[in-house]
Chains A and B, each alone.
Chain A
């Protein structure tokens, strides 16, 4: 019997942890010069080293070390002054040497943290370690019903991915998030992804597998101070799945404990379609990987000045940018989150840089443009309009050349590829009619055509001016500045 989430939270305190594997965006693999492009024909990007052929030897990719140090610094870690690679020994067909070169008790980075903003509060997620290892090959399982291992007749292995540098980022257990545990877990992965993207060390696409998460979950009976047995959930392939996996494990484990049974320490598999986890490998007989220092490699001792150079070259991290923008644009946390979640931060910032006000920039990107992106199934930055274009439109509105309706028309036209805002305005003749004589003529015509309305206005019923404004707008095909028209009408009929 599974409990509901609410029932579970009444009795238990959820504790979670995350192990995230990130494929680094280096040009070549961790220990050899094979290229790392995604999606190549099978076994076209291999060599004796990444195939683990007898007699081959690894040589460390310096950029991979640099990127890992960057990640460690961005996560506020200490960088080891001396560390080694170690062999993790186990047999598996996607690992050509039947050991993985990884790091064991001497990781490159340790003891950091990442602050995660959620619901107006900040949760500090401790980072236990960041280390480097090599990725495995990829298997196709043939013959079973689901394409998974269970029931397969045989497997086909492609080693293009074998040897790609992989960074493993391990958090400390995160207690005390209570009800929000699933959201905090998701927010952590989101923030981590943004940090990594900002650093430019990986393209962090969960759907392509360049970022993979394993979620650890355990329950602590409320008030006991005793931590429960944790399970590890794999196959968590999206941000949403991170959240669902935590929630589903909390519910499942609660049900187990309520029945007086024990939670088994094991690896579980998350299913996107059902949103629940099923049992995988039992971790009761913990695998003994027989770690020992990699004898084909020598220690890595990053010089202090190299680390300093890397530290100085760090770009503005998401948390710093967030603080800066909230302050300089006078945003609330929620307003900022809205921008971030729409993926519009870069666009808005660039639009402001091109001369628009923050308010105008936000209005356009969060409103009209976010809508268009959503309709077209695109990300905001993929739209066919530049921040400079948007800033130009805002400027035209501010100058009175365009009104809101015309501005929207211009934006649509730019998105449809008709040219720059100025080109569109000229081509379509969209400028607001501001020539006074033409406008006065239109106003006089409207007054003449609506004598009773004009009479009411003369009597002091100014609201009636709206009718005449509408008539003028219609006559000018919307190319008049409404406020100005109204002003003219009232002047005329004063």
Chain B
């Protein structure tokens, strides 16, 4: 592959800005890479070849005319198919939206365009962001570039795979229960769930509105930080977005340091259910952090064990309502005959996959009169208790750490029809979603038993996203020094 595709986003942005290479060349190199490998990786649902080159040529024109360039000028970004982008379809990984071209642009992708990024294509995902493997996609799963028989994680698996396969240096995802951090972990790249409300959800098709958070993927901590900063900020079109300055994540990524930092290890996230290799790498990471001067303690967050059931009540409840609009009346698939009621039911039956149907029915159940208090209502109370556990923990430490997910990438097909087993992948990531915290997954090695990537999850209080990057950068630097090369250099799948 072209050496351009092995460069980081930071390097590419600098090269384009300096005129060493044209944005069109950079984009073409990545389009070539996609053409070469995506038949196997299946990261992309739609590749905007002509449009991407047009965007790139526009960057080149601006540079030639002496106009100012944005921080990501000429850098290709893959976009999870959950974002509305004008001129490209948005399927959300679902047959019910197959062929839908949104007539409006999401705030986040508009900001990236303004930053000069080249939106190169839309990536595969679990249907409406529900899943941990992309196996719930209506268009087939994506494959992990480390081992094509394995899942790339989900729901933002396509974006993670694209970055890990060097098809794009940066990618957009969303994280509702772990859908950025878990794929990042199993694909050996960096992925962040920013503070909830730190990124606009306008134009991000809703799964669980009070939990959905758009966020960045990159191969390096700095790359993720560059994307994080370019996409973030208050949006008056999103009532839930936070009106506060974007935390200085790029600054923090350039100055990784944990000396004197108080780090809490979540005691609930270890033991049975965790793959031994994952714990081995985690323990090593703990030792590494100590050697870099951090102060580590164990912290118990007793209500975290209820986070999974609370999440699997809150999220389905919100999604059962959010997905009601897909009924064949105004856009998307329409099938069936007879009355409007019959056509709606037939359309939704044909258009939604099994997981979507399960969650819609679960949500309908949890919100039903007579069940609301015991299920949805109770889950929202558990949510308060989890927030209190975090508040209590962050009163004692600056960040918390845990594995991002109990296992490495599992086999495609292994958990596809076992929802409870699939849900366990989100065990460690869910609490941060319920509390609206910031959290990151950074690669820390390969599991000895299968040679597949393992990540480290770092969690910080809301609006302390920069803390994540400070820790992750320190870990990345130390790790790369020890190993002699970035982790991805060892990927053999392709």
B481 at the interface (CB under 8 A from A): no
Give Cα A56 to B90, complex, Å: 13
Chain A residues, Cβ within 8 Å of B364:
290
Give Cα A298 to B203, complex, Å: 18
Residue contact A296 to B321, C-beta cutoff 8 Å? no
Extra contacts, 10 of them, besides A55-B90, A57-B237, A290-B372 (Cβ < 8 A), are: A51-B330, A53-B103, A54-B90, A54-B205, A55-B201, A55-B203, A91-B324, A288-B368, A290-B364, A296-B206
Instruction: Tell me the minimal C-beta distance from A55 to chain B in angstroms.
Output: 4
B179 at the interface (CB under 8 A from A): no
Give Cα A204 to B368, complex, Å: 36
| In the complex, chain B residues 328-374 whose Cβ is within 8 Å of any chain A Cβ | 329-331, 340-341, 344, 364, 367-369, 372
Give Cα A91 to B201, complex, Å: 24
Instruction: Tell me the minimal C-beta distance from A88 to chain B in angstroms.
Output: 10
The list of the 8 closest CB pairs from A to B, nearest first, reads: A98-B324, A295-B209, A290-B367, A295-B210, A54-B205, A55-B203, A55-B205, A55-B84
Residue contact B104 to A48, C-beta cutoff 8 Å? yes
Given known A48-B104, A290-B368, contact A59–B209 (CB-CB < 8 A): no
Q: Interface size for chain A: under 10, 10 to 19, 20 to 34, or 35 or more residues?
A: 20 to 34
* Complex: chain A residue closest to B94, CB-CB: A54
Residue contact A55 to B237, C-beta cutoff 8 Å? no
Chain B residues, Cβ within 8 Å of A59:
236-239
B437 at the interface (CB under 8 A from A): no
Chain B residues, Cβ within 8 Å of A290:
321, 364, 367-369, 372
Give Cα A168 to B309, complex, Å: 37
| In the complex, chain A residues 72-91 whose Cβ is within 8 Å of any chain B Cβ | 87, 89, 91
Instruction: Tell me the minimal C-beta distance from A6 to chain B in angstroms.
Output: 42
A52 at the interface (CB under 8 A from B): yes
Given known A93-B340, A96-B330, A155-B340, contact A292–B317 (CB-CB < 8 A): yes
Chain B residues, Cβ within 8 Å of A395:
none
Give Cα A54 to B208, complex, Å: 13
Residue contact A54 to B92, C-beta cutoff 8 Å? yes
The SS class assigned to the B binding surface is: loop
Chain A residues, Cβ within 8 Å of B90:
54-55
Instruction: Tell me the minimal C-beta distance from B312 to chain A in angstroms.
Output: 16
* Complex: chain A residue closest to B84, CB-CB: A55
Contact of B376 among A52, A292, A296 (CB under 8 A): A292
Chain B residues, Cβ within 8 Å of A58:
239
Chain B residues, Cβ within 8 Å of A155:
340
B166 at the interface (CB under 8 A from A): no
Instruction: Tell me the minimal C-beta distance from A32 to chain B in angstroms.
Output: 9
Give Cα A87 to B83, complex, Å: 24
B327 at the interface (CB under 8 A from A): yes
Give Cα A292 to B103, complex, Å: 30
* Complex: chain A residue closest to B377, CB-CB: A292
* Complex: chain B residue closest to A52, CB-CB: B325
B202 at the interface (CB under 8 A from A): yes
Query: Hey, which bits of chain A sit against chain B, CB under 8 A?
Result: 48, 51-60, 87, 89, 91, 93, 96-99, 155, 157, 288, 290-292, 295-298
Q: List 16 A-B contacts (CB under 8 A).
A: A53-B103, A54-B100, A54-B206, A54-B326, A55-B83, A55-B201, A57-B201, A59-B236, A59-B238, A60-B239, A91-B324, A93-B327, A97-B324, A292-B321, A295-B318, A298-B240
Instruction: Tell me the minimal C-beta distance from A150 to chain B in angstroms.
Output: 12
Residue contact A292 to B106, C-beta cutoff 8 Å? no
* Complex: chain B residue closest to A155, CB-CB: B340
Give Cα A59 to B206, complex, Å: 15
Query: Hey, which bits of chain B sit against chain A, CB under 8 A?
Result: 83-84, 90, 92, 97, 100, 102-104, 106, 201-206, 208-210, 236-240, 317-318, 321, 324-327, 329-331, 340-341, 344, 364, 367-369, 372, 376
* Complex: chain B residue closest to A85, CB-CB: B239
Residue contact B330 to A298, C-beta cutoff 8 Å? no
Give Cα A83 to B340, complex, Å: 35
Give Cα A101 to B122, complex, Å: 31
Give Cα A292 to B90, complex, Å: 28
Chain A residues, Cβ within 8 Å of B206:
54-55, 296
Residue contact A48 to B103, C-beta cutoff 8 Å? yes
Instruction: Tell me the minimal C-beta distance from A469 to chain B in angstroms.
Output: 79
Chain A residues, Cβ within 8 Å of B318:
295
Chain A residues, Cβ within 8 Å of B367:
89, 290-292
Give Cα A312 to B311, complex, Å: 46
Given known A53-B102, A55-B203, A290-B368, contact A93–B329 (CB-CB < 8 A): yes
Residue contact A56 to B239, C-beta cutoff 8 Å? no
Instruction: Tell me the minimal C-beta distance from B46 to chain A in angstroms.
Output: 16
* Complex: chain B residue closest to A294, CB-CB: B209
Given known A54-B84, A54-B102, A295-B209, contact A96–B325 (CB-CB < 8 A): yes
Chain A residues, Cβ within 8 Å of B324:
89, 91, 97-99
Give Cα A98 to B204, complex, Å: 18
Chain B residues, Cβ within 8 Å of A99:
321, 324
Chain A residues, Cβ within 8 Å of B205:
54-55
Give Cα A48 to B90, complex, Å: 14
Residue contact B325 to A98, C-beta cutoff 8 Å? yes
Instruction: Tell me the minimal C-beta distance from B31 to chain A in angstroms.
Output: 27
Residue contact A53 to B340, C-beta cutoff 8 Å? no
Chain B residues, Cβ within 8 Å of A60:
239
Given known A91-B344, A96-B325, A99-B321, contact A296–B237 (CB-CB < 8 A): no
Chain A residues, Cβ within 8 Å of B237:
57, 59
Chain A residues, Cβ within 8 Å of B97:
54
* Complex: chain B residue closest to A87, CB-CB: B321
* Complex: chain B residue closest to A90, CB-CB: B324
Residue contact B106 to A57, C-beta cutoff 8 Å? no
Give Cα A465 to B364, complex, Å: 93
Give Cα A155 to B339, complex, Å: 10
Chain A residues, Cβ within 8 Å of B330:
51-52, 96
* Complex: chain B residue closest to A94, CB-CB: B329
Contact of A57 among B208, B239, B368, B369 (CB under 8 A): B239
* Complex: chain A residue closest to B332, CB-CB: A54
Q: Which of A59, A297, A298 has the most CB of B within 10 A?
A: A59
Instruction: Tell me the minimal C-beta distance from A287 to chain B in angstroms.
Output: 10
Chain B residues, Cβ within 8 Å of A56:
104, 202-203
* Complex: chain B residue closest to A48, CB-CB: B104
Residue contact B239 to A296, C-beta cutoff 8 Å? yes
Chain B residues, Cβ within 8 Å of A96:
325, 330
Give Cα A169 to B123, complex, Å: 48
Instruction: Tell me the minimal C-beta distance from A85 to chain B in angstroms.
Output: 10
Chain A residues, Cβ within 8 Å of B326:
54
